[in-house]
Amino acid sequence: MLKCDFGNLHREVELLEAGGAKMLHLDVMDGHFVPNLSYGAMVIERLRELTELPFEAHLMISEPTRYLDDFLKAGCNLLTFHLEVMPDPRPLMERIHEKGALAGLAINPKTPVEALEPYLDEFDVALVMSVEPGFGGQKFMPSALGKLQWLRSRLKPGKFASVDGGIDLETITDAAVSGANIFVVGSAIFEAGDYGQAISKLTNRARVPNSG
């Protein structure tokens, strides 16, 4: 949602839902962990009133533990935070699960994917950043493909590999072949004239044999 029209959020949600979006990915930035500010739980709470689509709160913030309950109360179904800010992410993932939500663990481009290995049984979604977090419209980093391949060979059934950044018609197939099964897409949808057509084309490009 980082690239949407924030002056007309109600209409944007309607268009995305009608176009076949499966989930809304909500980028929360604090101006500290990433050099940008976005929105917080109050905005998400109002969005929750507009749709029954699942919400993922991508917490690009330095203190996810401090604000966790706010995002849960706002109606988020999946809460993803960054390994870089949590020396031991297990307690926070346990809290998320206790509240009935799913837990996602994200890594930045410079973080080796092997850092996720101790937590493979703990998270529900591993989010591989394929751009530097904090800004939309960046170019996809091919180094993310190797990380997705590593995850594909290790994730158990019921776990998901997500990729975020620079996903478009040119990059989504490589990401899918490498093992991604959740795709965070911004510009390739919001800069299209027809959201539904854009989502359909992206979905078709992401379909690979045995991709799950």
User: Three-class SS of residue 182?
Assistant: strand
Contact 12, 26 (CB under 8 A): no
Spatial separation of the C-alpha atoms in residues 29 and 102, rounded to whole Å? 20
Catalytic residue of the set 5, 30, 124, 164: 164
Opening angle at CA 39, ends 35 and 41, nearest 5: 130
Catalytic residue of the set 27, 124, 168, 174: 27
Spatial separation of the C-alpha atoms in residues 144 and 183, rounded to whole Å? 13
Identity of the amino acid at 181: N
164: annotated active-site residue = yes
Residue with tokens 């800004």: 135
27: annotated active-site residue = yes
Token reading at 114? 């092997």
Which residue numbers are catalytic? 27, 164
